[in-house]
Structure 1
């Protein structure tokens, strides 16, 4: 049987299967007619301003996203539990709409059948319809005619409803909106879909409705429903398309309807990510929550009365229409491009390691992970947020997906690079016209000054991303009261499987489970780890390395240019033709020829289209920053040494775009350690470059390099000079001093016990750095790493336990603001392991 046929069958079975009792929240004492009269005369909901306090059980997953969906447009998919606050007639008495087993018992009584019958509702209706079809229809039309309903239903006027799907046959929705002033019901079975307009709500009664012609048979037979589907498949798939495109609230269903919702979840996904969906639960049932979450539903714990009251208290923003935007004149480069202007490329490139393109975002059907929902919820709540994670964890992809989900009239700006000066100008334009803007900013550490300026505008909301270890050094620039911080490194099992399923068949290897790494513990895999385990063939970084190997002998100028572009991009700047020409000046003097060399490597390099691209210069970048960094880690050390020596001798800093960003990584000790195995050559390199960069951070990197080469005396000399340049308040330099002090003496304790005090001195310096400086995570991580080393060498000392416990306390404190942070969790694991080892020895 076709999967959707099973949905159709289930839609009958779920009708009035919701087994909630009548709700015990505050009820109106007015009858239905009085309620209508009050609303029509005053134009106000009877309960507005008089609503009771909330029940403590009401919970909404990703609440701000839910609020935003209610305002921007939502489908309602209604079951019997939705109608429990409405009443109709039964045997001359006013009764609530039947739910659960109530309808079955009413049918048994009305048709004089055995009250102890165990026949399910579906089978009972089937039997009665074969002999008393007209009487059954008359019963339904009488029983489900709403006579009165509680006034809280009028709160639905405050919600933008695109469509109503329902398995109910009552006329409650018609009565609600007939009493209102904002919307009208457009029964799609009678009128067809509405022409675009904000006032119409398309109504889709899957089981028919008592409002339809009396001659229409309300036949709930699963066979009849399946036949209807086979007769008009296009109609049913059109219905599913609405659920795929628009957020949907499933309201009034219970776990007994789980089969229906599972089938709908499967059909509406159909190989693509569907729009967000929420399902209501009357009680906080852990198993139900786990089940519906596995289907991709977000959870609302609330009964119908609570949810209606909740909607009544929502603050609704009034849209003033799309304003004229001055920012298009000077900041067009920040606008997401139109689809017809986006270069087409194979989606395979993305899964092989290329940075996400707008083509991937618009048409690539990329999976939206749980991190997307959490970040979107923060955005919809009007908060600034920061997305942090390791390399190749999908941060840039997440930013673009989020930017693409921003509804008008709010304007999304996607910013790769912005200076403080440019930010000041941008704020002036935005505030002058009053447009609401969400700025999506990658590489937050590079743009912290600009972000501080943007954050002063009441019209700008900020969503930024940064690597976790880089963010540690600038975290104090982003006050916690102003930013929500989310770690997006790990993929839960559902997301990992979904990402795997999206990998194109041509590059997806046969089943290969993720490698189990016992050192990772319970940490979720990253996006890169998932791809690495599932991709057949070479990732993009491998292709770069192969290209470098071939070009070295065949076209040495291209080899050097490719390596140059990777170096600059690993330092977060693109390569201009001017820089490339200066680098090759002694071999290729013609600028045009240099440009041609760069463009000829178009399978490896691309034209940079960021905010620097509005100049007359042409800029080039590799396919991704992670590829550039991989090349820097894997290239032959002698080639790396030649590149660095030549570049820093021949290329003026005045030609390097955003040199302020470049210099932060250009002299990194990790990179120099690979390039200069001989410490004397490395020292000479740093000394030559000091004339270019005389900053404390440059001296700091030189000190770290010398320390790693075991040249501790020279390292102390360099770090002392850094302290002199930075001044006494530089906690970062003092941190490095403490690390060098610790490493210099760590291996000397066995032969010179008197140096033991220097290790404690180092730990004390780090403790003071933590207490004095705002970069808490940065100092806590270094202290934790040294605490583990200290405990391994001196497990018998009481201070070992003290340092471990102090480190655990600090990291747990930081983890409250950065839940799921992989690096913190890794360190906590190491600390606990060291603590356990000491305990076992004693």
Structure 2
């Protein structure tokens, strides 16, 4: 915790000699993992974007506690969990005094606290006051204190000529693939994996998880180039294949595997391996780790193997310079693979084949789960939700269904739910962590320890849904009222600084796909307005506009998207695309009463097409914009027939589709199918004229 606004601490930890990375909680939330220290900057920072609030005057500092009370509640709580040294302050600062005196959690805790007092005769009189407040006093100047701390065992430096791979292991103990890492972590029955759990290291090294035919395809692809992307539909086995490749003996050299990696860790890793010419880094969930990717891809000696679902490809591809032959889509199921997997489970493959025939685009996870349990995932979740609704226990202080939806919500947003997050969320109805643990014990079939748990701070648990696919499918069977209650309560009770990987969480936390299900129009407006009080990002307004659009409130949606479009200075192409869609939708339904009105209407609609044309020429996510342009060209023709505008839009759409479909670029199969269908519809229009 610091009340300074400079970046001195960041500069200290940037040193290549430092094995520790610093994590600003304003960006990453509470990132508690090995070799990472969380930094709470109470008064703002010179490192934050221009326009971010920094506090200097006494009035500003006093107001901080009121304006950002969740931050101070978080810091007070974290201070109560560990011994603390107050250094560089004489407690005159009002924020510091608020943390110490006004926090119930901190005032009642038994943790030791020290206060560094400059050795001066004038300070003798105040030492007794500080001791009455429960402080142990350290009389020292800064140089003396640093010298003392530097002599302690936790600060001793190892010899500099140590074996280089030992340094890899020590600086990245949960990522450098070696015998120690292979032996670490939870050892569980492989049946847990077949029942839908995310893969863990023990599943992979046991060889009980069958390698599919895509394994050899990917092995060959990796050996031929510097960047490889594994993609596909949710639940198709991307994470499993990535881990199998990472932990295999068929790829030589030094290998690192990350489920999440922040920019600072990537910078340290690049410096650590700069002299090593045979390094491969495996990164899962690329969408959540693009900041680190931007650092790693600039290192000429590092080979990258990445995994991300196809639905997010349009976003991540702007960070990649990659040809379609470097991308392996593993969505399509091979019957020989299914037979081998079923055989490894001692199950017949006939049920799996029946399920495949009845369901298009079904995932490997769903087939394996059905083969192992004779139940489809959605049906199992529905049954489980009903059990939670009807469960009775007089000792429970937490509603089990609410806890289920809370963990489901954070899992949907791509992060585990830490005990600290649950503690803040349920603070009104529990007395201690034991109340949460008692409730979690009742739900261990579907809420599990995070697959990354062994890599976190061991002082608390991290919980997640059994799989990402479970989290997404659960929302379709949960009552909207429960989802809305959890989302509102989470927003009110859980501060950003206590959320694990807040940078990932916020990308989906206010997603219109979720809020459309959770809220009616009035509730949704109240929710987004509440979010905007503390987060005025144009991305929030974008989701707000999409929510309103999906509720068919185009006038309200236009107000939000136009403001987001303006605030983003027309440089965020996803916002520009939605701006064009809503402008088109608002006007295509109008019925002008005169020729003059019709001309004005068509010129306004033309602006939406011009915006999309600009996006197509400037944004790498061309598919996204071409799809919208082609759809709207067909809609325009259906409404107004063949006129000069229709001719322009149809011809332009056909040209864009032809360029895209013949580019050789990777296109997700669902998108490819729609692009081909649109091309056929537009060709049919031309034939009609």
Where does residue 634 of structure 1 map in the other structure? 477
Q: How far apart are residue 652 of structure 1 and its match?
A: 0.9
**Cα contact 1:326–1:430 (8 A) shared by 2:** no
For 1:548, the equivalent position in structure 2 comes to 385
- 2:190–2:208: 8 Å Cα contact kept in structure 1? no
1:673 Cα deviation after fit: 0.5
Q: 2:165 aligns with which of 294, 313, 324?
A: 324
C-alpha separation between the residues in 2 aligned to 1:508 and 1:361? 26
- Counterparts of residues 487-498 of structure 1 (less than 5 Å): 487-495=329-337, 498=340
Structure 2 residue 437 is the aligned partner of structure 1 residue 589: no
For the 8 Å contact 2:450–2:464, the answer to whether it is kept is: yes
In the alignment, the residues of structure 2 paired with residue 545 and residue 492 of structure 1 have an alpha-carbon distance, to the nearest angstrom, of: 29
The question of whether the paired residues in 2 share the 8 Å contact of 1:416 and 1:442 is answered with: yes
Q: Is the Cα contact below 8 Å between 2:366 and 2:377 reproduced in 1?
A: no
1:729 is the counterpart of 2:566: no
Counterpart position of 1:537: 374
Partner of 1:427: 270
Change (3 A) 1:482 1:495: closer
In the alignment, structure 2 segments of 5+ residues that lack a partner are 1-162, 393-397
> Do the aligned partners of residues 429 and 615 (structure 1) sit closer, same or farther apart at CA in structure 2, a change above 3 Å counting?
farther
Determine the structure 1 residue equivalent to 2:218: 375
Deviation at 1:589, TM superposition (A): 2.8
Q: What does 1:104-115 correspond to in 2, within 5 Å?
A: none
Aligned counterparts, 1:413-424, within 5 A: 413-424=256-267
Distance 1:516 1:746 in 2: 38
User: Which residue of 278, 292, 315 corresponds with 1:473?
Assistant: 315
CA distance in 2, matches of 1:627, 1:619: 17
| 2:610 maps to 1:767 | no
TM-score with structure 2 setting the length = 0.68
The alpha carbon displacement at 1:712 in A equals 1.6
Mapped partners of 1:629, 1:741: distance in 2 = 31
Counterparts of 2:278 and 2:440, CA distance in 1: 40
- Kept in 2, the 8 Å contact 1:706–1:712? The answer is yes
Aligned length: 512
Match runs of 1:108-127 below 5 Å: none
Contact 1:420 1:450 in 2 (8 A): yes
The CA deviation string for residues 678-710 of structure 1, in whole angstroms up to 9 with x for no partner, is x12211110011123211111111111112212
Q: CA-to-partner distance for each residue in 1:419-460, whole Å, 9 max, x for gaps? A: 10111122222236x373211111112111101212233332
TM-score normalized with structure 1 length: 0.56
1:512–1:533 contact (8 Å) kept in structure 2: no
1:735-778 deviation digits (Å, cap 9, x = unpaired):
11001112223333588855344443322211110102233233
Deviation, structure 1 residue 795: 6.3
Cα shift readout 1:495-520 (whole Å, capped 9, x = no counterpart): 45555555541897386263367xx7
* 1-structure distance, mates of 2:330, 2:237: 8
User: Cα gap change, 1:487/1:426 in structure 2, threshold over 3 Å: closer, same or farther?
Assistant: same
1:745 matched residue in structure 2: 587
Instruction: Give the secondary-structure state (helix, strand or coil) at the position aligned to 2:328.
Output: strand
Asked which structure has the greater CA Rg, the reply is 1
**Residues 536 and 614 of structure 1, relative CA distance in 2, 3 Å threshold:** closer
Shift of 1:670: 0.9
Aligned residues of 2:246 and 2:257 also touching (Cα < 8 A) = yes
Q: Give the corresponding residue for 1:334.
A: 175
For 1:792 and 1:487, the matched residues in 2 are separated by: 36
Q: Does 1:358 align with 2:201?
A: yes
Q: Deviations over 1:378-399 (max 9, x none)?
A: 2112421112222112211121
1:54-203 equivalent positions in 2, closer than 5 A: none
Q: CA deviation at 1:634?
A: 2.6
1:288-687 matches, within 5 Å, as 324-336=165-177, 340-341=183-184, 343-363=186-206, 365-407=208-250, 410-431=253-274, 434=276, 436-480=278-322, 484-495=326-337, 498-499=340-341, 502=344, 504-505=346-347, 509=351, 512=354, 514-515=356-357, 526-527=363-364, 531=368, 537-554=374-391, 557-610=399-452, 613-614=456-457, 616-677=459-520, 679-687=521-529
**Is the 1:509–1:536 contact (alpha carbons within 8 Å) kept by the matching residues of 2?**
no
Instruction: Note closer, same or farther for the CA distance 1:527–1:838 as it changes in structure 2 (3 Å cut).
Output: farther
| 8 Å CA contact retained: 2:230, 2:330 | yes
State how far apart, in whole Å, the 2-side matches of 1:743 and 1:762 are: 10
How far the C-alpha of 1:474 sits from its partner, in A, is 3.2
CA contact (8 A) 2:347 2:371 kept: no
Question: Does the 8 Å contact 1:439/1:463 carry over to 2?
Answer: yes
Q: Does the CA contact (< 8 Å) of 1:515 and 1:533 recur in 2?
A: no
User: For each residue in 1:233-284, what CA deviation from the matched residue of structure 2 results, as whole angstroms up to 9, or x when unmatched?
Assistant: xxxxxxxxxxxxxxxxxxxxxxxxxxxxxxxxxxxxxxxxxxxxxxxxxxxx
Cα distance change of structure 1 residues 799 and 368 upon mapping to structure 2, 3 Å threshold = farther
Structure 1 unaligned runs (5+)?
Answer: 1-321
Deviation at 1:724, TM superposition (A): 2.9
Structure with more relative contact order (C-alpha pairs < 8 Å, separation 6 or more)? 2
Contact 1:511 1:534 in 2 (8 A): no
